[in-house]
Amino acid sequence: MTQACHRKCVPPHYKEAELSKGESVCLDRCVAKYLEVHERMGKKLTELSMQDEELLKRMQQGSGTA
Amino acid sequence: AVPALEVPGAAMAAAPPPGPPLQYSLLLQHLVGERRQPRAWDPGALGGIPSPPKSEEQKAVERAMESCAFKAALACVGGFVLGGAFGVFTAGIDTNVGFDPKDPYRTPTAKEVLKDMGQRGISYAKNFAIVGAMFSCTECMVESYRGKSDWKNSVISGCITGGAIGFRAGLKAGVIGCGGFAAFSAAIDYYLR
């Protein structure tokens, strides 16, 4: 996350040591977007993996009884 | 973040081996789901220079000092002082007080001169303060909107400020004011960088 947002928001030519207002605003937005996407993808993948597990359990039960 | 996203990919690509149910779902929930533990982002751990964590008051003060309103107020006060000095100075150079048509060579009295200097100083100071505050405020807002800090911010805000000032005298004066002030602030920016 640090690398991605640094690449997007901080241009390589440094003019002063402090983060300027534009850069801090950009970093704020970048981090918020990254964390939100991370959370949503995590939830979606958890959902998909639970569906997978259910399918596998049903298959096992089906092959066990048959 | 990247290892956490690779694990669910591996779990989906290979069929999970038969074992206790919901094993991978538990893992995922601990990594990216609801049961994530909060982490302390220590700058020393992430490869930065270790520094003591900032207190809430320090963060609040820094946030206030970086805000647009504070910058505009600072520019306003600075403009007031600068305008006052400039006005007093030009009043000393460009005198037109105490002109008596009956006696054109009369030297103005000290009281008249001081009154003129005061008036001009105040008037210039107010103008400079307003212009400075407007420019600083617009520049800060443009920079916050764009999320970048380069030369275009001062040009755009110079155009807005000049246009707003000139617009009171008509549309053409507004356009000229926009162009002139934008060029002026671009020149100042170029000189300062």
Q: pLDDT per residue over B16-39, tens digit each?
A: 444 555 667 677 777 766 777 777
H or E element in which residue A54 lies: helix A21-65
Residues of A in contact with B18 (CB under 8 A): 56, 60
ipTM of the complex: 0.70
Q: Is residue B43 part of a domain?
A: no
Domain count, chain B: 2
User: Do B154 and B189 meet the contact criterion of CB atoms below 8 Å apart?
Assistant: yes
Q: Is residue B127 part of a domain?
A: yes
Q: pLDDT per residue over B35-75, tens digit each?
A: 777 776 666 666 677 777 788 888 889 888 888 889 899 99
Report the C-alpha dihedral over residues A46, A48, A52, A55, rounded to 10 degrees. 120
Residue range(s) defining the domain that contains residue B111: 64-148
Is A49 within 8 Å of B21 when comparing Cβ atoms? no
Q: Which residue has the tokens 């005298």?
A: B169
Query: Domain with A2 in it: what CATH number?
Result: 1.10.287.810
Do B178 and B110 fall within a single domain? no
pLDDT surpasses 70 at A32 = yes
Domain count, chain A: 1
Q: Go through chain A and tell me how many residues it has.
A: 66
Q: Is residue B30 part of a domain?
A: no
Minimal Cα–Cα distance from B147 to chain A, Å? 4
Q: Is residue B114 part of a domain?
A: yes
Comparing CA positions, the residue from B193, B112, B26 lying closest to residue A16 is B193
Instruction: Give the domain-ending residue among B112, B133, B148.
Output: B148
Do B144 and B163 fall within a single domain? no
Q: What's the pTM value of the predicted model, to 2 decimals?
A: 0.69
